[in-house]
Amino acid sequence: MDILKSLGHPEEIFNLFKFKMGGCRAVMPKLDYESMSETLRTCYVYLNQTSRSFAAVIQALDGELRHAVCIFYLVLRALDTVEDDMTIPLDKKVPMLNDFHTYLYQDEWCFNESHEKDRQVLEDFPTISLEFRNLAQEYREVISDICHRMGVGMAEYLEKKVGSMNDWDQYCHYVAGLVGIGLSRLFSASQLEDPEVGRDTELANSMGLFLQKTNIIRDYLEDTQEGRVFWPKEAWSQFAARVEDFAQPENLESALSCLNLLVTDALRHVPDVIAYLSRLRNQSVFNFCAIPQVMAIATLSTCYNNPMVFQGVVKIRKGQAVTLMMDATNMRAVQTIVAQYSQEILHKVSLTDPTRDKTLNILALIQEKSTLSQSSLPSRTHLSPMYLSAAMLLAALSWQYLSTTAAQVQGTGDMQGQ
C-alpha cells in the first residue's frame, strides 16, 4: 500500500489530511460551471477525463487564461491521440498531423475511427473547435501556430528514430518544448505576465524538455513493452546491443549507467527552469508552472540509480506529491525543493558511474542557481517532538481513512508532463 511509504514522513501524512479537508483550495479552487456555456462545460469534462496531471492546475488559472489553456490542452491532446493511434495507416496519419491546425476552423470536422482511450476528443472535436473559435484572436493565433508546428514535428518522427542526443532534444521540443513556448505566449497574451516571458523561447523550451525527458526516463519499461523506444540510441548503444536488454537482471549495471546518463542530461535544463520561474509574477501562473517542475525533479531523484525503473513504473509517494503541490507556491520554496532533491541525487552518485563528473558538475550548477547553500537549507523534515508524535499517532489511528484519502488523490503523483 502506497500509504505505508509515507509513514517515515509524518509531514506527508499531515498534508494528506489537510488535502482531504480542503487545505489546497487556495491552490486548486473549484470552478463555477453554472456560468459556463454547455460546450465549455463539456470541454472541462474532457479536460478532467484526459489529464491526470494538469486538469487541476489549469482550472486554477486566473480569468480568461484558464479557458485558453484548457482549449490549448484539448487541441494538443487530440493531436497527440492521432499520433499515438497505431491503427491509423501512415498514408492517412501524416496528412492528418500536418493539416490538423486547419481543422480548428472547420465547424464539423471530427474523427470517429480512433481506438485510443482519449478518442472522445476526436469524436467530439466540433465542441472543442467551437470553443477555440470563441477565444480572443491573440489566443487563437498562438494555439493554431503551435498545433501546426507540433503536427509537422510529429509527422517527421513517425518513421524517424530518436538516434542522437540532438534528436532527443528535437523530438522533445516537438512534443513538449513547443507546449512550453505556446503556454508562455498565452501567459503574455493574457497580460498576466510580462511580454518577455512569451518572447524567451529558450527558457520556455527547457520547461517542456525537462518534463518530457523525465516522463521518457520513468516510462522505460512501459514503452519498451509496447514497442516504443524514446531513449536515444546514442546513449543506450554505449551500454547494450538493444535498449530492451536493460530489463534483463544480468544487465543491471549497464542499465543503471545509461539511466544515470539520461537523468544527468535532463538535469541540465533545471537552471533554465529556475530562471523561467523567477520571472513569473501571477500567482496562478506560478503554481501552474512550478508544481509540475518540482514533481519532475522529485521523480528524477527517485529514478536516479534505481533498478526499479527497469522492473516497473517508478512514482513518487502520493503524500510526497501533495506536499510538493502545497509547498511550491513561491520562488523561495521552489529553490529549497530543487536544492533538496539535487542533494538527494548527489548522495546517490557512485564513484564508478561513467557519467559521474558530468552529474556532479550539473548538480553543483543547480545548487548555485538555487541560491541556497547547503548550510542554510531549511530542513523539510524537521518537526518538533510534539508534532512528530501527533502525526505518528494520527497515522496509527487513521489507517483506513488515509487509504481512502490516498485513493482520492490518485493521479496527483503523476503531476509531471502527462
Task: Name the DSSP letter for residue 28.
Answer: S
d(CA 325, CA 166) in angstroms, rounded, equals: 32
374-405 pLDDT tens trace:
334 444 344 344 433 343 334 334 434 444 44
Q: Which three cell numbers, joined as nine digits, stand for 411? A: 493521479
Burial class (CB in 10 A: 0-12, 13-18, 19+), 5: middle
Which of 396, 337, 417 shows the shortest CA–CA distance to 172?
417
Identify the residue whose cell numbers are 526499479.
Answer: 308
210-260 pLDDT tens trace:
999 999 999 999 999 888 899 999 999 999 999 999 999 999 999 999 999
Q: What is the Rg, in whole angstroms, of the alpha carbon atoms belonging to the chain?
A: 21
Per the CB < 8 A criterion, the answer to whether 94 and 79 are in contact is no
Structural domain includes residue 325: no
Q: Provide the domain limits for residue 55.
A: 37-136
Structural domain includes residue 280: no
pLDDT at 33: 66
Structural domain includes residue 53: yes
Structural domain includes residue 251: no
pLDDT at 296: 96
d(CA 230, CA 172) in angstroms, rounded, equals: 10
Which of 29, 57, 76, 73 shows the shortest CA–CA distance to 286?
57
Per the CB < 8 A criterion, the answer to whether 301 and 341 are in contact is yes
Q: How many domains does the chain have?
A: 1
pLDDT at 390: 40
pLDDT at 30: 63
- Note the pTM of the prediction, 2 decimals: 0.83
Structural domain includes residue 316: no
Burial class (CB in 10 A: 0-12, 13-18, 19+), 289: buried
Structural domain includes residue 314: no
d(CA 192, CA 189) in angstroms, rounded, equals: 8
Which of 279, 137, 277, 278 shows the shortest CA–CA distance to 194?
279
d(CA 47, CA 41) in angstroms, rounded, equals: 10
Structural domain includes residue 60: yes
Structural domain includes residue 297: no
Catalytic residues: 171, 218, 228, 288
pLDDT at 56: 83
Q: Which three cell numbers, joined as nine digits, stand for 360? A: 556532479
In the chain, which residues have pLDDT < 70?
Answer: 1-33, 53, 372-418
| Dihedral-angle region of residue 67 (phi above 0 means left; psi in -120 to 50 means alpha; beta otherwise) | alpha
